Amino acid sequence: MSIINNINKAFDHRIRLGIMSVLMVNDYADFKMLKELLGATDGNLASHTKALEKEEYILVEKQFIGRKPNTRYSVTKLGKLQFKRHIDALEKLIGK
């Protein structure tokens, strides 16, 4: 078995890696928080959250706070499992 087998293409991009890292240590994060933490544009962040949602690694909740729309993200059980596998694989790869 190759040491890169558990490296997950879904986490290839630094923005996706960032989204998952934030969600692993927080119960949830909203769009604005992720955008500020990651220094991403609206479009860039939206496309990466959609990709992670499609893989069922994150859960997206849309709601209104007062009259303002708010989009909130949280990591799924599958997302946690796959991300941990990915990080473990990276650590093995760099020989930690």
Q: Which two tokens stand for residue 20?
A: 């998952």
| The Cα angle at residue 9 between residues 6 and 13, in degrees rounded to 5 | 125
pLDDT per position as a tens digit, 29-56:
999 999 999 999 999 999 999 999 999 9
Domain residue limits, the chain: 9-91
Q: Which two tokens stand for residue 25?
A: 């240590």
- pLDDT mean over 19-28: 97
Residue 96 CA, distance from chain mean position: 23
Given the candidates 1.20.1250.20, 1.10.10.10, 3.90.180.10, 3.40.1010.20, the CATH classification of the domain at 9-91 is 1.10.10.10
Structure confidence at residue 91 (pLDDT): 92
For the question of whether the overall pTM of this predicted structure is more than 0.75, the answer is: yes
User: How many whole angstroms separate alpha carbon 35 and alpha carbon 39?
Assistant: 6
What proportion of the chain, given as a percentage, has pLDDT over 70? 97
With 0-12 / 13-18 / 19 or more C-beta atoms within 10 angstroms meaning exposed / middle / buried, residue 21 is: middle
